[in-house]
């Protein structure tokens, strides 16, 4: 019997990489996208292959329609698509709203919202005829916290994805598809360094009721449970993985 196929965007590091490794151990074959970190994606694929998965990588900036066309050409050549972990996203250096530029906002929304929505749309086109499939959108607790003086633009993109998750879920549930969001909190990944503040998670850990940061593996465990039959009656909402924050 063939293994189910999962597409993971932004899989070269952090939460995407953790999801890929765990999905491989739970019986999935994988298509993994990356934007710039080819070596990271190759390492993740190698780990997935060691766990028994057939894993392929493809370079793709999800904000570029031509890149998405190439991704889904590979999906179609590989087999039916069973699951999507819609994870690719970016964050900019900490700044106030008054200092945001059009260029930064355009890039942030192109990747985190428009790109993610187009990826999900292409997944739906392939899942609906089969009458099954799961889409997990990786959002953020920033969507309700707001991230003032830091990443209000990033928070706004993730709030958009929360609403998109609900709307898409309602649209495709009658066809047998499930759509969920997972909202990580302070997770130890490279995204903080990419935002210019590598120590951010540790510095804010005392604001978390559990008094610690989370790991990418803990987020992956939630994602893979939502993809499982154990979550067969769960759709249309967003699960916080935040330590209570």
Max CA distance (Å), the chain: 56
Residue 59: count of CB within 10 angstroms of its CB: 15
Tokens describing residue 59 = 């370079």
Q: Is 154 a residue of the active site?
A: yes
pLDDT more than 70, % of the chain: 96
Name the pairing type of β-strands 29-34 and 5-8: parallel
pLDDT one-digit tens code per residue, 151-204? 999 999 999 999 999 999 999 999 999 999 999 998 987 665 566 666 777 777
The pTM of this model reads 0.95
- pLDDT in the model for residue 189: 77
The residues, ordered by sequence, that sit 6+ positions from 181 with a Cβ below 8 Å of its Cβ are 136, 137, 138, 139, 161, 162, 165, 237, 238, 239
Q: What is the pLDDT of residue 51?
A: 96
Given 28, 151, 154, 233, the catalytic residue: 154
């Amino acid at each position: 019997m063939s293994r189910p196929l999962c597409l993971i965007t932004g899989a070269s590091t952090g939460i995407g990489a953790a999801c890929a490794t765990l999905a491989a151990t739970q019986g999935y074959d994988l298509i993994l996208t990356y934007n710039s970190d080819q070596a990271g994606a190759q390492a993740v694929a190698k780990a997935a292959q060691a766990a028994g998965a057939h894993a392929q990588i493809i370079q793709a900036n999800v904000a570029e329609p031509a890149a998405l066309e190439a991704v889904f050409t590979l999906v179609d050549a590989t087999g039916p698509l069973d699951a999507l972990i819609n994870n690719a996203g970016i964050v900019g250096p900490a700044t106030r709203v008054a200092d945001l530029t059009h260029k930064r906002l355009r890039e942030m929304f192109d990747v985190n919202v428009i790109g993610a929505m187009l990826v999900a749309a292409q997944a739906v086109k392939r899942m609906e005829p089969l009458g099954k499939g799961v889409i997990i959108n990786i959002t953020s607790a920033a969507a309700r916290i707001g991230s003032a003086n830091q990443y209000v633009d990033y928070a706004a993109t993730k709030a958009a994805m929360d609403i998109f998750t609900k709307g898409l879920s309602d649209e495709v549930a009658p066809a047998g598809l499930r759509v969920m969001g997972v909202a990580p909190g302070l997770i130890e990944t490279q995204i903080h360094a990419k935002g210019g503040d590598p120590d951010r998670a540790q510095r804010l850990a005392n604001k978390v009721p559990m008094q610690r940061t989370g790991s990418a593996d803990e987020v992956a465990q939630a994602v893979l449970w939502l993809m499982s039959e154990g979550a067969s009656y769960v759709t249309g909402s967003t699960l916080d993985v935040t330590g209570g924050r």
